[in-house]
Structure 1
Amino acid sequence: MKYTWIGLALLVVSNQVLAKTRIVTLAPHLTEWIYSLELESQLVAVSAFSDYPAAASALPVVADYQGVDFTALMALEPDLILAWGGGNKPQDIARLKSLGFDVFVSQPKTLDDIATELSALAAKLDKAELARQLTQQYRAQLQSIQSLYAHSQPVSVFYYMWQQPLMTIGADAWANQALSLCRAEHIFNDSPIDYPQVTVRQVVARQPELLVAASDQSEEALTAFWQSHGALIQAPLIRANANALHRFSLRIVPAIGELCERIDSVREKTIN
């Protein structure tokens, strides 16, 4: 019984220490990870555009495109800071480390990296079992999507995020990983840069079978833009969930599934 009570006492102390962990996230996807791991009660500050779940919008903001607000962040005395290696300034991350903060750096390059990094974070926060369940489901859903469309006929698409200027993607851009699962081939995959700016004339010259707008604009506004070029390009237009597709969170899987379904509906009409 003596060792049993000692073990229970250590468990209580461990949980008390964990409960006091104060977490700051410096990118929207990292905010989502904390909610996915059910640790939102320990989240004391976030970055700009941390809008999912909605409750995250009420938290103090200590980072944006200009960088980290060190004064505000340090006043919160966080125990763990989650940074985005591909979005936060390298000098800001280096400074946080030099100040002695425990900094977890996320930098997903592939869809599977989301699961791998989430698991690594969970291990630091005593949420390994929950992460195992979440990532197992995530990977199974990705595999299901890949299998569903693996033998589908490729569809040429023009995927863009902005209309003015007309901003699209190159072969190594993040969105292409989703498109490849849908068996969609992007017409500017020969671009030497990840996010090139193109003209309507260039799009027309390549005649995609489908236009994909990763935008929060209304379908009416998106359609109106292309209607003025209707005599030159008649590809149908669909809208993608940019908020989920461009964020390294678990929400990306249903967003990819929805995108693939819409692409497939156009594919069927083209074939028939």
Structure 2
Amino acid sequence: MCRWLAYSGSPLLLERMLLEPEHSLIDQSLNARLGAHATNGDGFGVGWYGEGQMPALYRTTRPAWNDPNLAELSRQIRSEMVFAHVRASTGTAVQQTNCHPFRYGKWLWMHNGAISDFQKVKRELVLAVAPDLYPEIEGSTDSELFFYLALTFGLERNPPAAVARAVGFIEQVGQGHAIAHPLQMTVAVGDGRALWAFRYASSGRSRTLFYSSDPATLRWRYPQNPIFREIDDRTKLVVSEPLGSTRGVWNELPNAHSCTVRNGGIEISAFKPAASI
């Protein structure tokens, strides 16, 4: 499937999180250790918040390890919130509009996982998208449709509740088609001020997700590490798999849980699908 990274904190060059770590997202595009596939070469994307009212996107179908433009951009772009994703398609076309992250207004969305038997349930899921949102769907992935279902169910008002309703609806539709395990997911969504991440699977065995430890503690433990000196205390990373092997940096988010990163703090909560109506 895919690997992703979501960053919130002090303004940081993209290269510091995307290119330089021991097991960077670029390395994961070739050599993922905890994903369903070792190679994630069906495109990649980066979304970041800067001067404009909407986040910027750079997405391409080229493999992340083979795009010199990514290195050029990463040396110059500095942001307080970054979403990055390397894709392994679960069956939909390799095209730019299918590359994550997806954007709607100020919102960014990334997904690792799949809606099971997507072609069986696609029509019913599409028809549930709000009519005013439907024209905004550009690609053909289950991930983008999942995003627009969450928007339909109130993402802009209450992200955790909307994602829970979208998951509940997908499971309801899937079960109506005798699909035993309708959804596998880790999801990140953000609005430039806060980010939310979710780990869940209908089967109970979800893909991995990790969040970073408190920067002040890391500076105390590793005073010579330059990246820990560079970031401030509000900095948090949520990742599909750890970016390195330094002890104490990464904490696994439990299955069927979510985390909210806001104002430098992180809140961990249990996650449960909710009825969509």
TM (normalized to structure 1)? Answer: 0.25
> Which of structures 1 and 2 has the bigger CA Rg?
1
Name which structure has the greater RCO, CA cutoff 8 Å, separation 6+. Answer: 2
Higher helix proportion, which one?
A: 1
Higher strand proportion, which one?
A: 2
